[in-house]
Chain A
Amino acid sequence: MVILDKMEAQLRPAETDMAPYSAKFVTQANGDKFVVWQADRPDVPQLLESIKPLMTVEKDFYDIVAARMYSELLGWYRYRVKDEYCLVGTINGEIVGLANGRMVDDKTGMSYHTIALRQGLRIGAQLFAAKMEYHFDFLGQEEVWIVAESPNGFKRWMIEYELEPRFETWHELGGVPTYVLTKALWEKHKVMKCGGRRPVPEAMLEQAKQMILPETYAQIGGYKRHA
């Protein structure tokens, strides 16, 4: 076992002490409280379960986003990705979306994926904004590298945030064109994009961390988790 432990330690990346994301809540149009909080490594198995059903949904590239996010979160859980984080969005304790990324160094962040499990409330847009908020306002970084895998993502990130194209920079997600959100662009757009109140009341945060799995997915007709 000692040998195995030593081998495992050599496989694991060195970890940087990252500032934590302070949980917040955003009141949705219908009055629901959308809580965004940072997951810990032990939360990952439940998060994986929440996105697993979407890995076969071709529409809107849910399959690629869910499958890649699954592997990224698994990589974090099994200590194979350096300095990764995941923000969880919940409503009434149910997981409605996830956003993840990692810190490349103290100046640069790398956005991985954002996925909305519940549709119709702009969950994805709010989670992406929270992710950028983490990079700039908590980690104090200067820029975030971003790619899009769906037209929706391209519209939401590249166009709405006026991202700077930097195609010579290779993002970790396969060399597709890289765009960059700079600190200046973040400051320009965050007023209209990033909401939320802090602190989250204790009871609300406790409920959020129940991480209830969705029973149905609008993206998968007829799906019922406990059919």
Chain B
Amino acid sequence: MPRCREVGIVGVGHTRFGRSTVPYVDLCCTAAVEALDDAGVKTGEGHGVDQVFLASMGAQMLNRQSGIASGLVDTLDLRPAMAETVENGPASGASAIKLAYMAISSGMCDVALVVGAEMMRVVSGWEGTDFVATMLHPEAEYPYGLTLPSFAGMFTRLIMDKYGVTEKDLALVSVKNHENAMHNPGAHIKLVPQLEIITEDEDKDVINPYVAEPLRLYDVCPVSDGAAAVVLCAMDVADRFLKKPIRISGIGQATDTHAVAERAVPTDLLAVRLAAQRAYEMSGLGPEDMDVAELHDAFLILEIVESEEVGFFKRGDGHLAVRRGDTKIGGKIPINTSGGLKAKGHPLGATGVSQVVEIVKQLRGEAEGRQVEGAKNGITVNFGGFGNNVVSIILSKEAE
């Protein structure tokens, strides 16, 4: 693949996920200002930001706001930067980073700000679930009442039957991610479930009820508000900024059938595999080079299957790796050190950006209590639809 300018990340920002008490644009600005400060970018005249991308899946539907990127640029005093809002379902965040990468790599601009933000808790859980389900097939799926949790439940059952994954394996992932989230100031859920209680206690059906059998409450992500932001720049102008750049060494994206029933192998996440392969190919790295990963665990079965599809483990072995502790911090390949979508939270448009923020912090050595020692390369998987549009990003620490 012909390469143009190299692109890096020099600033990151992240709000505490959970329930926002500020309006949507203020939420965006909170993360954006933190990222700009981190990079040492002053707003106002001579700010040097050429392009702003705002990633959101639901602002138009949930918050009745459109054209938000333009408003964001003005609020941040970043005029006359170019501005667009990016919507690609729950993969909007990583898509926006991809577009920023393309804008810089092509030479069209030097510096771009990407903000991902979602305010989902303005509606009830029901409305939120329905809103997310609008990305399903409008004739084959949505009219029949299918939702993302229902798909995830069916998918989990198939994986359990095929590979022997158990409810306890999912709970192991849950406990791991909640433990990691306790060290992440930006995480939504600050509670560590105890494995024996959520899997074996006589009251487990009460405290950890089925949401979409066999998925239980502690197997699915919460509904969160939140924002995350990154400042990208061409590597050849990186010396303008406070922080050393973390290089975007690979980006891959792939799509799959819109209707899940049309997939040849329903237990495969083909778009995850292809997106990761493309990112590896672009970076010249492989799964064995990765030190840390942020995988899209909106439902915990996804973390297990994605860990296989990105090449960390053989198909059907992901749950065995979880049992061995391979995916914990200190294990072979720590996954979701941020707490993942499960415990950090999943404000849809923010998620892909948040994943990149976590990897940047890991590669900078700024991840505090959840730091993976010596991390040099990390990968993200941001999963749209039920796996019909996936973006994977590989980040690499430059040699000192």
Contact = CB atoms under 8 A, between A and B. Distances in A.
Interface stretch (B23-31, B200-208, B354-362): B200-208
A26 interface: yes
A34 to B, nearest CB: 9
B207 A151 contact: no
B311 interface: no
Given A60-B124, A152-B125, A222-B21, A30 B206 contact: no
A126 interface: yes
Nearest to A190: B206
Contact of A122 (B124, B127, B191, B217): B217
B21 to A, nearest CB: 4
A191 interface: yes
B206 A29 contact: no
Nearest to B124: A151
B189 interface: yes
Contact of A155 (B19, B21, B125, B202): B125
Nearest to A196: B203
A49 B360 CA distance: 46
Interface in A75-131: 120-122, 125-126, 129
A172 B80 CA distance: 60
B207 A122 contact: yes
Nearest to B192: A30
B144 interface: no
B60 interface: no
Contact of A29 (B127, B202, B218): B218
Interface in B196-223: 197-198, 201-203, 205-209, 217-218
Contacts of A192: 205-206, 209
B191 A30 contact: yes
Given A30-B192, A218-B19, A221-B21, A191 B197 contact: no
Nearest to B201: A27
Contacts of A191: 205
Interface size class of A (residues with CB under 8 A): 20 to 34
Given A30-B191, A31-B194, A195 B203 contact: yes
A183 interface: no
A74 interface: no
B193 interface: yes
Contacts of B127: 151
B206 A26 contact: yes
Contacts of A26: 203, 206-207
Interface in A30-55: 30-31
A147 to B, nearest CB: 17
A22 interface: no
Contact of B207 (A27, A155, A218, A221): A27
A152 B193 contact: no
Contacts of A196: 203
A67 interface: no
A193 interface: yes
B124 A29 contact: no
A218 B189 CA distance: 12
Contact of B189 (A120, A125, A194): A120
A222 B22 CA distance: 12
Contacts of A221: 19, 21
Contact of A195 (B124, B125, B205): B205
Interface of A: 26-31, 60, 120-122, 125-126, 129, 150-152, 155, 191-197, 218, 221-222
12 contacts: A27-B197, A29-B197, A30-B191, A30-B194, A30-B197, A31-B197, A60-B124, A122-B217, A192-B206, A194-B206, A195-B202, A195-B207
Given A120-B189, A195-B202, 12 more contacts: A27-B197, A27-B201, A28-B207, A29-B191, A29-B197, A29-B207, A121-B191, A122-B206, A126-B207, A150-B124, A195-B203, A197-B203
